[in-house]
Protein backbone atom coordinates (compact mmCIF):
# COMPACT_ATOMS: atom_id res chain seq x y z
CA UNK A 1 0.00 0.00 0.00
CA UNK A 2 1.39 3.41 -0.98
CA UNK A 3 2.21 5.82 1.79
CA UNK A 4 -0.24 8.68 2.15
CA UNK A 5 0.22 12.20 3.41
CA UNK A 6 -1.64 13.03 6.59
CA UNK A 7 -2.99 16.36 5.36
CA UNK A 8 -6.38 17.93 4.67
CA UNK A 9 -5.53 18.03 0.95
CA UNK A 10 -4.84 14.30 0.95
CA UNK A 11 -8.10 13.73 2.84
CA UNK A 12 -9.95 15.57 0.07
CA UNK A 13 -8.12 13.55 -2.62
CA UNK A 14 -9.07 10.29 -0.90
CA UNK A 15 -12.72 11.35 -0.44
CA UNK A 16 -12.94 12.35 -4.11
CA UNK A 17 -11.42 9.02 -5.17
CA UNK A 18 -13.86 7.11 -2.96
CA UNK A 19 -16.83 8.99 -4.46
CA UNK A 20 -15.51 8.21 -7.95
CA UNK A 21 -15.11 4.49 -7.21
CA UNK A 22 -18.54 4.29 -5.58
CA UNK A 23 -20.09 6.03 -8.61
CA UNK A 24 -18.45 3.74 -11.19
CA UNK A 25 -18.79 0.46 -9.28
CA UNK A 26 -22.58 0.06 -9.82
CA UNK A 27 -22.11 0.73 -13.55
CA UNK A 28 -19.42 -1.93 -13.77
CA UNK A 29 -21.58 -4.39 -11.82
CA UNK A 30 -24.50 -3.71 -14.19
CA UNK A 31 -22.23 -4.22 -17.21
CA UNK A 32 -21.01 -7.50 -15.71
CA UNK A 33 -24.63 -8.69 -15.29
CA UNK A 34 -25.47 -7.72 -18.87
CA UNK A 35 -22.44 -9.58 -20.21
CA UNK A 36 -23.28 -12.68 -18.15
CA UNK A 37 -26.88 -12.63 -19.42
CA UNK A 38 -25.65 -12.24 -23.01
CA UNK A 39 -23.23 -15.16 -22.64
CA UNK A 40 -26.05 -17.35 -21.31
CA UNK A 41 -28.22 -16.34 -24.27
CA UNK A 42 -25.40 -17.09 -26.73
CA UNK A 43 -24.78 -20.47 -25.08
CA UNK A 44 -28.42 -21.37 -25.75
CA UNK A 45 -28.15 -20.22 -29.38
CA UNK A 46 -24.89 -22.11 -29.93
CA UNK A 47 -26.39 -25.26 -28.42
CA UNK A 48 -29.44 -24.87 -30.68
CA UNK A 49 -27.17 -24.53 -33.74
CA UNK A 50 -25.25 -27.65 -32.69
CA UNK A 51 -28.54 -29.52 -32.16
CA UNK A 52 -29.77 -28.53 -35.64
CA UNK A 53 -26.45 -29.58 -37.20
CA UNK A 54 -26.66 -32.95 -35.49
CA UNK A 55 -30.31 -33.34 -36.49
CA UNK A 56 -29.37 -32.55 -40.08
CA UNK A 57 -26.54 -35.08 -40.07
CA UNK A 58 -28.64 -37.82 -38.51
CA UNK A 59 -31.46 -37.14 -41.00
CA UNK A 60 -29.02 -37.65 -43.88
CA UNK A 61 -27.12 -40.55 -42.36
CA UNK A 62 -28.71 -43.09 -44.71
CA UNK A 63 -27.22 -41.60 -47.86
CA UNK A 64 -24.25 -39.75 -46.32
CA UNK A 65 -21.75 -42.48 -47.43
CA UNK A 66 -22.62 -41.58 -51.03
CA UNK A 67 -20.78 -38.28 -50.54
CA UNK A 68 -17.55 -40.24 -50.70
CA UNK A 69 -18.21 -40.69 -54.42
CA UNK A 70 -17.83 -36.94 -54.92
CA UNK A 71 -15.07 -35.69 -52.60
CA UNK A 72 -15.17 -32.12 -53.95
CA UNK A 73 -18.58 -30.47 -53.98
CA UNK A 74 -17.05 -26.97 -54.15
CA UNK A 75 -17.63 -26.85 -57.92
CA UNK A 76 -21.36 -27.31 -57.30
CA UNK A 77 -21.77 -25.24 -54.12
CA UNK A 78 -19.95 -22.15 -52.88
CA UNK A 79 -20.50 -19.00 -50.85
CA UNK A 80 -21.58 -16.25 -53.25
CA UNK A 81 -21.97 -13.52 -50.63
CA UNK A 82 -21.02 -13.27 -46.98
CA UNK A 83 -21.47 -9.97 -45.16
CA UNK A 84 -21.04 -9.03 -41.53
CA UNK A 85 -21.84 -5.84 -39.71
CA UNK A 86 -20.59 -4.60 -36.38
CA UNK A 87 -22.99 -5.00 -33.49
CA UNK A 88 -22.65 -3.64 -29.97
CA UNK A 89 -23.48 -5.36 -26.70
CA UNK A 90 -22.65 -3.49 -23.50
CA UNK A 91 -19.82 -1.66 -25.27
CA UNK A 92 -18.39 -4.76 -26.96
CA UNK A 93 -18.10 -4.75 -30.76
CA UNK A 94 -19.29 -8.10 -32.12
CA UNK A 95 -19.71 -9.48 -35.65
CA UNK A 96 -23.32 -9.92 -36.73
CA UNK A 97 -24.15 -12.02 -39.79
CA UNK A 98 -25.85 -9.62 -42.16
CA UNK A 99 -26.13 -11.60 -45.36
CA UNK A 100 -25.23 -15.11 -46.48
CA UNK A 101 -26.00 -16.27 -49.99
CA UNK A 102 -24.98 -19.64 -51.34
CA UNK A 103 -24.64 -20.32 -55.05
CA UNK A 104 -25.30 -23.74 -56.54
CA UNK A 105 -24.27 -24.79 -60.02
CA UNK A 106 -26.80 -26.16 -62.49
CA UNK A 107 -26.64 -29.91 -62.36
CA UNK A 108 -26.59 -31.91 -65.57
CA UNK A 109 -29.36 -34.45 -65.00
CA UNK A 110 -27.70 -36.93 -67.35
CA UNK A 111 -24.18 -36.72 -65.88
CA UNK A 112 -24.88 -36.44 -62.13
CA UNK A 113 -26.57 -38.97 -59.86
CA UNK A 114 -30.13 -38.13 -58.73
CA UNK A 115 -29.11 -37.76 -55.06
CA UNK A 116 -26.91 -34.73 -55.88
CA UNK A 117 -29.91 -32.38 -55.43
CA UNK A 118 -30.47 -33.63 -51.88
CA UNK A 119 -26.74 -33.55 -51.20
CA UNK A 120 -26.48 -29.90 -52.28
CA UNK A 121 -29.45 -28.94 -50.08
CA UNK A 122 -27.92 -30.84 -47.15
CA UNK A 123 -24.44 -29.34 -47.60
CA UNK A 124 -25.89 -25.84 -48.09
CA UNK A 125 -27.91 -26.09 -44.86
CA UNK A 126 -24.90 -27.54 -43.02
CA UNK A 127 -22.63 -24.77 -44.34
CA UNK A 128 -25.13 -22.08 -43.34
CA UNK A 129 -25.46 -23.52 -39.82
CA UNK A 130 -21.68 -23.80 -39.52
CA UNK A 131 -21.19 -20.13 -40.39
CA UNK A 132 -23.98 -19.08 -38.00
CA UNK A 133 -22.43 -21.15 -35.22
CA UNK A 134 -18.92 -19.80 -35.80
CA UNK A 135 -20.31 -16.24 -35.74
CA UNK A 136 -22.09 -16.91 -32.43
CA UNK A 137 -18.94 -18.49 -30.99
CA UNK A 138 -16.89 -15.43 -32.00
CA UNK A 139 -19.50 -13.18 -30.35
CA UNK A 140 -19.28 -15.30 -27.20
CA UNK A 141 -15.47 -15.20 -27.23
CA UNK A 142 -15.39 -11.40 -27.45
CA UNK A 143 -18.05 -10.96 -24.76
CA UNK A 144 -16.30 -13.46 -22.48
CA UNK A 145 -13.06 -11.51 -22.87
CA UNK A 146 -14.83 -8.27 -21.94
CA UNK A 147 -16.53 -10.05 -19.02
CA UNK A 148 -13.13 -11.17 -17.72
CA UNK A 149 -11.80 -7.58 -17.87
CA UNK A 150 -14.96 -6.15 -16.28
CA UNK A 151 -14.91 -8.76 -13.49
CA UNK A 152 -11.29 -7.83 -12.74
CA UNK A 153 -12.27 -4.16 -12.49
CA UNK A 154 -15.25 -4.93 -10.24
CA UNK A 155 -13.02 -7.01 -7.96
CA UNK A 156 -10.34 -4.29 -7.95
CA UNK A 157 -12.86 -1.63 -6.95
CA UNK A 158 -14.79 -3.79 -4.45
CA UNK A 159 -11.90 -5.56 -2.77
CA UNK A 160 -8.99 -3.12 -3.11
CA UNK A 161 -9.71 0.47 -4.07
CA UNK A 162 -12.87 1.22 -2.02
CA UNK A 163 -11.58 -0.43 1.21
CA UNK A 164 -8.17 1.22 0.69
CA UNK A 165 -9.72 4.69 0.32
CA UNK A 166 -11.96 4.16 3.36
CA UNK A 167 -8.97 3.02 5.42
CA UNK A 168 -6.86 5.99 4.23
CA UNK A 169 -9.68 8.40 5.13
CA UNK A 170 -9.99 6.82 8.58
CA UNK A 171 -6.21 7.04 9.21
CA UNK A 172 -5.99 10.67 8.02
CA UNK A 173 -9.01 11.71 10.12
CA UNK A 174 -7.54 10.07 13.22
CA UNK A 175 -4.19 11.77 12.57
CA UNK A 176 -5.80 15.19 11.99
CA UNK A 177 -8.00 14.72 15.06
CA UNK A 178 -4.96 13.86 17.17
CA UNK A 179 -3.16 16.91 15.80
CA UNK A 180 -6.10 19.15 16.62
CA UNK A 181 -6.33 17.71 20.14
CA UNK A 182 -2.59 18.19 20.60
CA UNK A 183 -2.85 21.79 19.36
CA UNK A 184 -5.68 22.55 21.79
CA UNK A 185 -3.70 20.97 24.66
CA UNK A 186 -0.57 22.93 23.71
CA UNK A 187 -2.64 26.12 23.57
CA UNK A 188 -4.03 25.50 27.06
CA UNK A 189 -0.58 24.73 28.44
CA UNK A 190 0.86 27.85 26.81
CA UNK A 191 -2.01 29.95 28.13
CA UNK A 192 -1.52 28.58 31.65
CA UNK A 193 2.18 29.52 31.55
CA UNK A 194 1.54 33.13 30.59
CA UNK A 195 2.14 35.50 33.54
CA UNK A 196 -1.03 36.88 35.04
CA UNK A 197 -1.20 40.60 34.40
CA UNK A 198 -1.62 42.64 37.54
CA UNK A 199 -4.57 44.84 37.62
CA UNK A 200 -3.59 48.48 37.53
CA UNK A 201 -4.83 50.55 40.54
Q: Is residue 14 part of a domain?
A: no
Q: Is 62 helix (H, G, I), strand (E, B) or coil?
A: coil
pLDDT at 7: 83
Displacement of CA 66 from its chain's centroid (Å)? 45
For residues 116 and 108, give the distance between their C-alpha atoms in angstroms, rounded to a whole number. Answer: 10
Q: Which residues of 170-200 are buried (b: 16+ CB within 10 A; e: fewer)?
A: eebeebeeeeeeeeeeeeeeeeeeeeeeeee
Q: Is residue 5 part of a domain?
A: no
CA atoms within 13 A on the CB side of 114: 0
Q: Is residue 3 part of a domain?
A: no
pTM of the model: 0.76
Q: What is the CATH number of the domain that holds 77?
A: 1.10.287.3240
Q: Please write the tens of the pLDDT for every residue from 34-66.
A: 999 999 999 999 999 999 999 988 887 777 777
For residues 136 and 49, give the distance between their C-alpha atoms in angstroms, rounded to a whole number. Answer: 9
Helix axes 162-193, 8-59, angle to 10 degrees: 170
Task: Compute mean pLDDT per 10 residues along the chain, 201 residues long, and list them.
Answer: 77 90 92 95 96 88 70 77 91 92 78 75 90 96 96 93 91 82 72 59 49
Q: Which domain holds residue 174?
A: 25-180
Amino acid sequence: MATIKHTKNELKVQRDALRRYERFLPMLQLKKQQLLAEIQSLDVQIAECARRQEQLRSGASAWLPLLNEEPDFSRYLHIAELQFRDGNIAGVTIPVLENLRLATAELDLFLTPPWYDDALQFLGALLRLGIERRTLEEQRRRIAEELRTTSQRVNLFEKVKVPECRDNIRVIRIFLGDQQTAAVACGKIAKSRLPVELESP
